[in-house]
């Protein structure tokens, strides 16, 4: 998309979600603010039976719950569960609790972070841990629950990952390394690490869709989306003066969080045509060039194999869920 086309798309009016979600249960990570909060508000409005706000801070999650409930007459729909994607133990505890749900129709992986200072969590760079590894771990742990829902209620569950058009900006020199995820532990090329995590989210979504189909254990629609540039708190950890520059750009070009959240709901309720694909402006999009052709397939296979190895190290046997 050209720069002019992108600017026009930022000011486009996206379809307002109107699908009846009666009876459905939804988990939304990072749901205490921004896009996740607005997506939760939509699902409550669309008659979902249960909407779980998965948040690192219970206090902020409860504040989000109260804010949503103040805008709707519906009660006893929202629940706040603690989930810290910076902790593998927290992810496993959350998944074990969610496995006891009678029904889980949608896992909406909305939580991501963008930080400006290099650090590690759980032995990996912070954004890699949160945006990629923990997101993948949670998804794989919950696949049996999603599939059980599909069989029991004769529905097609969804796993949706909130990625970004930043995936197209990833320089990603680490792709040439013998072991990519090990190389990404290093404090190099850090300025573009967020972009790289967004690219890796698309790769893991594509491979998860392929692998889950190949296993024959039950169909789950797996897709991803780019919400566009939205006025959220994503850059809240950045310092002056860059924070002011970003604030100005968001003020001029950024979408309102409610408008951006429509892309999340559209993907989470989308049909089979989106399986193993990704969307922007609520329509299907092409892949970043690094994912195209035979070379792109080899890279995706390599990344998938390394992610599987990491996840098995965190929770032995977890990849059998796929």
pLDDT, tens digit, 9 for 90 and up, residues 234-244: 555 555 555 55
Q: Which of 50, 65, 164, 194 is catalytic?
A: 194
pTM for the structure as a whole: 0.92
194 is catalytic: yes
**269 in a structural domain:** yes
pLDDT (tens digit per residue) in 251-285: 656 678 899 999 999 999 999 999 999 999 999 99
The first and second tokens of residue 192, run together, are 């573009």
Judge whether 163 counts as a catalytic residue: yes
User: For residue 250, what pLDDT is reported?
Assistant: 60
User: Region 226-239: what's the mean pLDDT?
Assistant: 64
Check residue 249 and give its pLDDT: 60
> Which residues, in sequence order, are CB contacts of 88 under 8 Å at separation 6+?
122, 133, 134, 137, 314, 315
- The rounded percent of the chain whose pLDDT value lies above 70 is 89
Q: Give the tens place of pLDDT for each residue, 90-115.
A: 999 999 999 999 999 999 999 999 98
Catalytic residue among 198, 207, 212, 280: 198
Report if residue 252 sits inside a domain. Answer: yes
Evaluate whether residue 319 is within a structural domain. no
Condensed to tens digits (0 to 9), the pLDDT of residues 133-167 reads 999 999 999 999 999 999 999 999 999 999 999 99
Of the residues 25, 110, 134, 163, only one is catalytic, namely 163
Sign of the alpha-carbon torsion through 31, 33, 35, 41:
positive
Distance CA 105, CA 27 (A): 8
Query: Where does residue 62 rank: exposed (0-12), middle (13-18), buried (19+ CB within 10 A)?
Result: middle
CA distances from 249 to 63, 113, 203, 242, 280 (A): 28, 19, 29, 11, 20
Q: Is 251 a catalytic residue?
A: no
Burial pattern 115-154, b for ≥16 Cβ within 10 A else e, equals beeeeebbebbbbbbbbbbbbbbbbbbbbbbbbbbbeeee
CATH number for the domain harbouring residue 249: 3.40.50.720
Answer yes or no: is 164 within a domain: yes
Judged against a pLDDT cut of 80, whether residue 184 lies above it is answered with yes
Q: Is residue 82 part of a domain?
A: yes
Number of structural domains the chain divides into: 1
Predicted local distance difference test score (pLDDT) of residue 237: 53
Q: Is residue 7 one of the residues assigned to a domain?
A: no
What is the DSSP-derived secondary structure letter of residue 22?
A: B
- Beta bridge pairs of residue 158: 106, 221
Question: 85 is in which domain, residue-wise?
Answer: 18-314
Residue 296, classified by CB atoms within 10 Å of its CB into exposed (0-12), middle (13-18) or buried (19+), is middle
């Amino acid at each position: 998309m050209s720069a002019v086309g992108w600017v026009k798309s930022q000011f486009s009016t996206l379809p307002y979600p109107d699908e009846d979600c009666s009876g459905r249960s939804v988990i939304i990570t990072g749901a205490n603010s921004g896009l996740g909060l607005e997506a939760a508000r939509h699902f409550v409005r669309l008659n979902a039976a249960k909407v779980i706000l998965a948040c690192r801070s219970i206090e902020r999650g409860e504040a989000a719950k109260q804010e949503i409930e103040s805008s709707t007459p519906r009660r006893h729909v929202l629940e706040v569960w603690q989930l810290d994607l910076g902790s593998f133990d927290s992810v496993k505890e959350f998944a074990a609790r969610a496995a006891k749900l009678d029904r889980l129709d949608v896992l909406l992986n909305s939580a991501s972070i963008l930080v400006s200072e290099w650090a590690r969590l759980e032995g990996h760079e912070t954004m890699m841990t949160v945006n990629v590894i923990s997101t993948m771990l949670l998804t794989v742990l919950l696949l049996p629950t999603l599939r059980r829902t599909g069989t029991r209620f004769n529905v097609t569950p969804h796993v949706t990952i909130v990625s970004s058009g930043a995936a197209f900006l990833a320089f990603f020199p680490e792709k040439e390394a013998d072991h990519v995820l090990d190389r990404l532990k290093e404090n190099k090329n850090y300025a573009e690490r967020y972009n790289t995590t967004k690219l890796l989210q698309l790769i893991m979504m594509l491979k998860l869709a392929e692998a889950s189909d190949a296993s024959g254990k039950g169909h789950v629609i797996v897709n991803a989306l780019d919400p566009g540039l939205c006025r959220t708190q994503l850059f809240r950890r950045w310092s002056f003066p860059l924070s002011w520059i970003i604030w100005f750009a968001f003020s001029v070009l950024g979408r309102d969080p409610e408008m951006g959240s429509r892309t999340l709901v559209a993907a989470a309720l989308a049909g089979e045509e989106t399986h193993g694909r990704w969307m922007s402006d609520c329509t299907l999009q092409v892949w970043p060039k690094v994912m195209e052709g035979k070379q792109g397939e080899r890279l995706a296979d390599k990344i998938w194999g390394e992610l599987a190895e990491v996840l098995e190290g965190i929770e032995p046997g977890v990849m059998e869920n796929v």
